[in-house]
Amino acid sequence: MIDAQDAARFRRLGTLTIFAVYFVILVGGIVRASGAGMGCPDWPTCFGQWVPPTHESQLPPNYHEIYAARGYESTAFNPVKTWTEYTNRLVGVTIGFLIFLTAWTSRVYLKADKAIFYLALSVFLLVGFQGWLGSAVVASNLKPLMITLHMLLALFIVALLIYAIARSQKPILEAIDSHWLTPRFALVLKIAMAMTLLQVAMGTQVREAVDYIAHEHSYIDRQYWRDSFPIIFYIHRSFSSLILFTNLWLAWKIYQQADKHSLLLRTAYVLMGLIVTAILAGVSLDRLGFPAVAQPVHLLMANLIFGAQFFIFICLNYSSRKASWTS
């Protein structure tokens, strides 16, 4: 048996770590939307310093030549972009410590449920790989494919964390009453998760195109960016309607049958709120001249939507063992 205090400590720390990972995704979106990705052209230092410079006078006179291969040949030093990127790195380091502590506290499950410990350990190792991938992103001068891989790995890390924490609360999840859910609901939920992943994949293609357009416009004149959007943007935009109605159907089925205070219903409310927020952010990008604040919000919502869907899936996976599924 696991001590109740140890289980609660792991749950609290793991939950905090999940929110922290989502926060670093948001910060990463801000870095990308502001064009600050090369604010620090080297890694792990920033312009060869552990504390970034705040003024061009603190840099070598030939810093343009030193970092020419990284895009600084004709780029003026921008302290705001430099410190935005450096803050992103500091947040990432903090995440590393939190995930280490999560893995450390998960050792109490070694006898009761080894999978929880190995899941937490895998997350810790993946975060180390994510750090290396971050350095590769900088070294590649922000190649779109590298940025996309960096983001998708963050999504996978969060999914593993959610599963580890949920598995540690298995007795609570097994008590969820889901006998009223049909096989059709489970199928639609899986389809909704696949649709979200597809939408995220299309979103990465849109962001890669936007990155190129933004660079061409020197990250100004945002109201004209839409004129150069590729066809994938319009597919991505239209697909959001399918995602909205599919998840609305899921939420409605839960609302019809679930207890009004159940974890499933509360998660369904959160899921719909996230989807509506993501769509509103997307509409603002499309119709309001691509405001910088909307881009990281849109990215964060996409990650949170999949996380909420995945959590519902886990809940049903455990509760369905006691459910009498009907067609």
183/279: higher pLDDT: 279
Q: Is the domain of 206 the same as that of 119?
A: no
Which of 124, 142, 172 is the endpoint of a domain? 172
Given this model, what pLDDT does residue 326 score? 43
Residues 247 and 104 in one domain: no
Q: Which of 120, 137, 172 is the last residue of a domain?
A: 172
Q: What is the CA radius of gyration of the chain?
A: 22
Instruction: Give me the CATH number covering residue 209.
Output: 1.20.120
pLDDT at 279: 93
pLDDT at 144: 61
Number of domains within the chain: 2
Judge if 196 and 313 occupy the same domain.
yes
Whether 214 and 306 share a structural domain:
yes
Give residue 249's domain range.
176-326
Which pTM was predicted? 0.82
Which pLDDT belongs to residue 307? 94
**Lowest-confidence pick of 54-58, 144-148, 235-239:** 144-148
Place of tokens 């180390």: 128
State the Cα–Cα distance between residues 63 and 129, nearest whole angstrom.
Answer: 29
Residues 184 and 139 in one domain: no
Q: How far apart are the C-alpha atoms of 211 and 144, rounded to whole Å? A: 8
For residue 314, give the nearest of 103, 151, 116, 146 by alpha carbon.
116
Task: Give residue-wise pLDDT tens across range 275-318.
Answer: 999 999 988 888 887 787 888 899 899 999 999 999 999 988 88
Q: Are residues 107 and 225 in the same domain?
A: no
What is the per-residue pLDDT for 325? 44
pLDDT at 270: 96
